[in-house]
Amino acid sequence: AQTVTQSQPEMSVQEAETVTLSCTYDTSESDYYLFWYKQPPSRQMILVIRQEAYKQQNATENRFSVNFQKAAKSFSLKISDSQLGDAAMYFCAYRTNYQLIWGAGTKLIIKP
Amino acid sequence: GAGVSQSPSNKVTEKGKDVELRCDPISGHTALYWYRQSLGQGLEFLIYFQGNSAPDKSGLPSDRFSAERTGGSVSTLTIQRTQQEDSAVYLCASSLPLRGTREFFGPGTRLTVL
């Protein structure tokens, strides 16, 4: 069965610094998609970044980038120049067909 | 509409009562999902609709839970004889029927069972 593990229940970072959130997953599939979603207190789930497993190049979206290690089944999220608005729960998710499998989330705290 | 909408935003009910939660997906999105998020937890898959195909109900936790999708658009999640453990945020999402496409989420309904 596919599983997604986020080992950091909470992380804190100083504003303007860089932080990395960890995610590992377990699957026997070779073709799949990985996502990072952000959930602020408003509850609205917002897509941060997406990675296709067949692409070796790491996805990047402005200050957000991933380190995708397919052999190690690792998919970490790096946030550069952290801003107060980045404070939220961050969820890693995996999908092969239509169902998303979610990690338990990491609460990110930004210190001003 | 511009995004996925859900109603009500919050629902407080007494144990044993039935509740209905509504989801309006983005127009043209044939795929619709319901998830449950308990306090401090990740999302738990409940049910998936795709067009006119039979829904995947494999995530529904008990037979007290059911969902319908009328006309391929609006969906209603019904919980009968609510229990305190049903208290959670229920999130709806919709997407195009493409494998790698992103899901667009609604703001959720926070259900509190007293």
A53-102 per-position pLDDT tens digit: 988 899 999 999 999 999 999 999 999 999 999 999 999 999 877 788 99
Q: State the Cα–Cα distance between residues B98 and B75, nearest whole angstrom.
A: 20
**What value does the mean pLDDT take over residues B58-76?**
92
Residue B1's pLDDT is 53
Q: State the Cα–Cα distance between residues B57 and B71, nearest whole angstrom.
A: 18
Q: State the Cα–Cα distance between residues B34 and B23, nearest whole angstrom.
A: 9
Residues of chain B with C-beta less than 8 angstroms from the C-beta of A4: 42
Q: Which letter does DSSP use for residue A28 in this model?
A: S
Is residue B12 within 8 A of residue B114, CB to CB? The reply is yes
Residue B40's pLDDT is 73
Q: Which letter does DSSP use for residue A56 in this model?
A: -
A→B interface, C-beta within 8 Å: 4, 33, 35, 42-47, 50, 52, 91, 93, 95, 97-105
Is residue A103 within 8 A of residue B42, CB to CB? The reply is yes
Each residue's pLDDT tens digit, B33-58: 999 999 877 899 999 999 888 899 99
| Residue tagged 């667009």 (tokens) | B104
Residues of chain A with C-beta less than 8 angstroms from the C-beta of B29: none
In terms of Cα–Cα distance, which of A37, A12, A5, A6 is closest to A87?
A12
Closest partner CB to A102 (pick from B43, B89, B107): B43
Task: Give the gap in angstroms from C-alpha B26 to the nearest C-alpha of chain A.
Answer: 15
**B2: confidence class by pLDDT, cuts 50, 70, 90:** confident
Contact A33 B100 (CB under 8 A): yes
**What value does the mean pLDDT take over residues B8-21?**
97
In terms of Cα–Cα distance, which of B106, B91, B110, B111 is closest to B25?
B106
